[in-house]
Amino acid sequence: FEQIIKLIGLISINYKIAPVELRERFYFEDSEKLVFNNLLKKNVGVEGLMIISTCNRTEIYFEFENHIGEEKKFLHSIVKELVEFKKFKDSLSPYLLYYTQSHEVANHLFRLVSGLESMMVGEFQIVEQLKNAYNYATRRKMLGPILKRMIQKSLETGKYIRTNTGIDKGAVSVSYAAVEQVTKKYKLSNSKFLCVGLGETSRLVIKHLKQKKISKIKITNRNKNKAINFCNELGYTFIDFENFKNEIKNSDVVFFLTSSKKMLLNKSEIKEIIKLRKNKLIMIDLSVPRNLPSDLNIEKLEIINIDNLKDVVNENYKKRKKQISKAEEFIDEFLIEFNEWTHSRTLRPSILSIKNDIENGIIEQTLSELNGLKEKNPKEVEIVDRKLNDVVKKYTNSLVKKIKKVSKNGKDEKAIKVINQIFLND
């Protein structure tokens, strides 16, 4: 039994234990993944590899079926290659999470893909990141059979949990909550947006708007070069900061996302802007301190600020957290299925040997005695061949079922030893 549970391992450098400066040092581009894979194959003997690398984590999943009993030494060798590959001179140990048992690795990955290991519970951006890492490793033939099966099962788990729980429902960030609120309330796909400021929250808002298929976005910022480079990269329009008040007249939705300690617009300025407009204006102030006055009650103007959104965000987060135990129950069920499959692989050599022996003993021997008949009546030989195959399949399937039952599907170590002694050739 010990021989089969230690098949895959994991080394993780993630936001829970490692600062962003260190995570950045160990980020992997796709081209680096293949180079590192070849390096580990040559120097360590890794038989399968997949690397997930995002802003929050770098995780190295590896397969080591032929290194049973040498897990710690094997793990140390991979870490040694990793620090040398990334030219890291300090100790990496305090920033590492690692597992060397299949059940532990699978449990971590199933939790990860289900949103339970995300900074914000239930966020499923990791699903696409995992799919991209898996597809890259598959195309480059980097995966072993155990690792491949585990990743496929994890994706199945994540999909099931998204469908059968509410763990990903409701916005749990202020930026996303703001976008959700206005896009659900109004049809804004053709509306004109203006983002005042280009900090981290602004970038998140723009990302969420893009996901909602909103493309008419203009951006203004005090740092002109920073904003121009960002706009050129994504195909948006830059507006000089000095002109943003005039631009509001031509906009339908305006986000204020600056770190300004002073208000950017006063009540009289806003009233003048509204007078020059025909349509309603939505202004969303996510700045701290606020960029807009609080006592605005003007016709054809809707104001949304952080205070309006905090209660929604907190309530949604509470709802998501209540779904964690339900998601963990589903994960346990999928882990049982994966472990059953993993254990059953112990019987694979004996099952293959049984099938080969029976096929060689019955089919080939019988057909060799029918060589003369083959020349005279080939159709008759085809019928005999087909019938023999049916008999072999029926007999081997029955034998395999009995072997699985006796060995408790590969979990009984003593039974496996006896089965291997009987059916495996020396």
> Which residues are designated catalytic?
55
Query: Is 298 within 8 Å of 283 (Cβ atoms)?
Result: no
With residue 116 as reference, give the H or E element that holds it: none
Query: Is 299 within 8 Å of 271 (Cβ atoms)?
Result: no
Cα–Cα distances (Å) from 180 to 86, 92, 175, in that order, read 40, 41, 9
What the block records as the tokens of 308 is 């309006």
- Separation CA 248–CA 193 (nearest Å): 9
Query: The sheet that has 48-53: what strands, in order across it?
Result: 48-53, 57-63, 8-14, 97-99
SS3 255: strand
> What does DSSP assign to residue 121?
T
> What does DSSP assign to residue 347?
G
- Separation CA 207–CA 389 (nearest Å): 58
Contacts of 384 (CB under 8 A, 6+ apart): 366, 367, 370
